[in-house]
Amino acid sequence: MSGAVTVVVATRDRAGTLADTLTRLTDEHDSPIIVVDNASRDDTAAVAARFADRGGGVRLIRLDHNAGAAARTVGVRAATTEYVAFADDDSWFAPGSLDHAAAVLGAHPDVGLIVARTVIEPGGHDDPIESALRRSPLGRRPGLPGPEVLGFLACAVVMRTRAYLAVGGFSPLLWFGSEETLLAYDLDAAGWALCHVPAVVAHHRPSPDRPAPQWRRRLHIRNDLLISWLRRPLSVAARHTAAAAWAALGDADRRAGLRAALVRAPQARRGRRRLPRRTEERIVRLARTGRRPAGTRVRPAAPSPGPVDPRATVVTITHNRRAELRATLTAMREGRDAMAMIVVDNGSTDGTTQMVCEEFPEVTVIRSPVNLGALGRDLAIADIDTDYVAFCDDDTRWRPGSLRRAADLLDAHPLLGSVTGRCLVGPAMTEDPLTPELRYSPVPGPAWLPGPALLGVMAGLSMLRVDAFRAVGGFHPRMWLGGEEELLAIDLADQGWQMVWAEDVVIEHHPSTVREATARRILGIRNTLWTLWLRRPARSALRRTRAVLASAPRDAATVRAVGAALAGAVWVRRERRVVSDRVEDGLTLLEDTQRTSRARRYVG
């Protein structure tokens, strides 16, 4: 099937490395190969011509000038296949990879580009970008073959020919340096998905003739500014320009990059085309993820005492609840379905980190200097490689077999985004008051669902698909704590993920005595109002706002909650995105139950 993929190689003055690359490509694949020579001054064109003369499917196109990355566009225009792959003169695709890429693209018509796993030679180790691609904060939407990305290495992609040509390919204005970023933005803006598929493998043996790092750095500085001017909102472009000018005061490379960008500013202005809101939001999400507070990671000092199920990681956030956390970790250690566990210590001052390290050396600890609230879970998830994540509060405990059962359900149903278990409240082990609402959920779901369909999750009682969690951006950084799961669940549903309640997944809740009921009520009301106005149609948001306020006590705490919600009106309006009719219909079905629910009273 690799005959359905044309390999385009752009090269300049790399006769030696090109010969090795073409040998590998012709020996290991039956794909057509187009070599575009960027006006080489050595024997590069002659090397390509010798391969073309052998009749092995190699074609040479010689340019009379160095077109940079845009030379690849010349090759793509000459291709007659449905797909094209880019290889540099020092990179090649592993045997079978082009066939696999063609099969994936054929099975997923909404995917425009596949990013391969890049292996650095000699040595056979992954390129540093691999970890970032695998853990992409954009996650994976239902039905896609891998996590979505907004960046890639040009020497390791396979894509649809028509998608590339429709967006104009690599920009001649950028020449080289960050050229992949602009192409990624334009593909995403056109509605194409860009996915990382590690089963497609590219090998890269960096040429010794690579340009000096200083030269490359200046190009990246220039092109990052040009991309901002070409596609980003004017406010963002202005902010980036001001930051670049300030940084240039003490950095010669930045001054050179800024000057080069200013020279090209008129061309950038003529080519300006602002990205759609969806793409801009995804860029902002990636930037926000990079700015999240970092925690100090304390790696396990000892292996787990028993076998560990590799499918999921258990994540617990805690703040000044050392005794409760000790009891939870003890119970989880004794479970028969042990999984890797991460505790995020949200700025505790009671010795929590020390206790975990000393008494539970098999547990990873991430210590945050401040209390991040629910965002502590995001901090942990950014650092895991398992397919699933189970949330466990410092006062909840998954009963033996429940973690494994939840993972089994996610294994069996690829469109299932989360499994929420049955909660028993200690010490009497009675069902949580919310349980009947979950067991008899009125939300419609597909016939394959293994239990009642939900439009919500409970963080301490749920296992989620990591790709799905990342795809919706995780917990919103402004929510902190208190009903933060509601927005996450609505966004999961809006992307097409299903959520389910499972009777045989059981979690015990031993409510902590270290609680600030009034503060939690304020946060709960505020976050509920924010969620309503972020996602519900205006009429529904207004109706539910009245119902929420009518059910809340008429006291100072409620007034503070409403005031806090109103204080966020500007950003809520800016980030407002109304859900689909399908999700809205489900949310409307839940309103009668919510009005009479004993579990949803804003008291305390």
Q: pLDDT tens digits for 578-599? A: 999 999 999 999 998 887 766 6
Query: Which one, of 333, 341, 329, lies nearest residue 306 by Cα?
Result: 333
pLDDT at 1 (0 to 100): 54
533 and 403 in one domain? no
Under the banding of pLDDT at 50, 70 and 90, the label for residue 547 is very high
pLDDT, one tens digit per residue, over 315-372 is 999 999 999 999 999 999 887 678 999 999 999 999 999 999 999 999 999 999 999 9
The phi, psi pair for 440, rounded to 5°, reads -110, 35
> Do the domain assignments include residue 310?
yes
Average pLDDT over residues 505-509: 96
Exposure class string for 551-573: b at 16+ Cβ within 10 A, else e: bbeeeebbebbbebbeebeeebe
Average pLDDT over residues 412-419: 97
For residue 549, the surrounding DSSP H or E stretch is helix 538-551
What are the tokens at 442? 């009125």
Could you tell me which residues come within 8 angstroms of residue 166 by beta carbon, excluding any fewer than 6 positions away?
190
Q: Is it the case that residue 71 has pLDDT exceeding 90?
A: yes
Domain limit, last residue, from 509, 530, 564: 509
286 and 300 in one domain? no
Domain limit, last residue, from 179, 204, 229: 204
The rounded distance, in Å, linking the Cα atoms of 391 and 316 is 6
Expressed as residue numbers, the domain containing 460 is 296-509
Domain limit, last residue, from 204, 237, 252: 204
> Do the domain assignments include residue 549?
yes
pTM listed for this prediction: 0.86
Q: How many domains does the chain have?
A: 4
The rounded distance, in Å, linking the Cα atoms of 98 and 327 is 52
412 and 480 in one domain? yes
Give bridge partners of residue 425 from the DSSP assignment.
430, 509
587 and 551 in one domain? yes
At 4, the amino acid letter reads: A
Query: Which one, of 472, 378, 402, lies nearest residue 147 by Cα?
Result: 472
pLDDT, one tens digit per residue, over 186-219 is 999 999 999 999 999 999 999 888 778 899 899 9
Average pLDDT over residues 94-113: 97
Q: Is it the case that residue 54 has pLDDT exceeding 60?
A: yes
pLDDT, one tens digit per residue, over 438-447 is 999 999 999 9
Q: What secondary structure letter does DSSP report for 196?
A: E
376 and 311 in one domain? yes
